[in-house]
Amino acid sequence: MPYVNIKITKEGEVTADQKRQLIEGATNLLHDVLGKNKKTTVVTIDEVDTDNWGIGGVPVTEIRKRQG
């Protein structure tokens, strides 16, 4: 009965099918590595605005501009 939380930046469109792949993939991973029961594995995905995510002390919004 694992619980997995995935946080990603909200950039471009993440489709419902891609989210399904993340949910299925994380559930399979816990099953394959640790034999966890898939039925009670819960996965949640948080999409975080690029203003609200920073790495290296800099918001992702700024990092993307510099990369632009």
Residues 5-27 as b or e (16 or more Cβ within 10 Å = b): eeeebeeeeeeeeeeeeebeebb
Task: Tell me: does residue 64 bind its own copies (CB under 8 A).
Answer: no
Q: Contacts with its own copies in 4-63 (CB under 8 A)?
A: 4-9, 14, 16, 18-30, 32-34, 36, 38-48, 51-62
Least spacing, CB of residue 9 vs its own copies, in Å: 7
State the nearest-atom distance from the C-beta of 21 to its own copies, in Å: 5
Other CB atoms within 10 A of residue 59 CB: 15
Report residue 3 CA to chain centroid gap: 13
Binders of its own copies: how many residues, by CB under 8 A? 51
Q: Decide if 2 is catalytic.
A: yes
